[in-house]
Amino acid sequence: MTQKEIHFSVEVYKDVEELTTEDAALLTAARKVTEHAYAPYSNFLVGAVASLANGETISGTNQENASYPVGICAERVLLSCIASQYPGVAVNAIAISYDNPKGESDHPISPCGICRQTLAEYEERVKQPIRLIMSGMKGEVFIVEKARQLLPLSFSASDLV
């Protein structure tokens, strides 16, 4: 038997003030767009804003439903919008933020498993990594250079051949 370790690094910033102007603007937009989330059941509002390779900026929010399994996360709403409106266009970066009125919203969270898989496959489709900027409404900011880093043992299209 052998053992394999898988590592990745995360850039950690004290707050939005330490970010580049572009990253700060994207994160500020993600924080603002949480207002448009439809989350009457969880009351956990998530916003995601993408900077595209063609210069466009697109946003998405989580959308819940009384039939819980049919809700969709902000990241997948966002990627669906991008794929529909700008097919084949690469995503440079996505800022993800959340507002939890029951909590502090003061630390980064990362995408759920389904969203990680979707992000990794989108990177594969357009052949470009997606930088993820993750934070709550205040506090620390995490940045990973490739969404795929969050799902190191992902299932991909190449596994289906």
Eight-class DSSP state of 52: E
**Burial letters for 90-126: b for 16+ Cβ neighbours within 10 Å, e otherwise?**
bbbbbbbbbbbeeeebeebbebeeebbbbbbbbbeeb
Whole-number Å distance between alpha carbons of 144 and 14: 15
Element (H, E) at 11: strand 11-13
Residue 75 is a catalytic residue: yes
- Catalytic-labelled residue, pool 75, 104, 124, 140: 75
H helix runs in the chain, sequence order:
21-33, 74-85, 113-126
For residues 91 and 121, the answer to whether their CB atoms sit within 8 Å is no
Whole-number Å distance between alpha carbons of 37 and 64: 9
Question: Is the Cα torsion angle 40, 96, 151, 87 positive or negative in sign?
Answer: positive
- Residues annotated catalytic, as ranges: 75
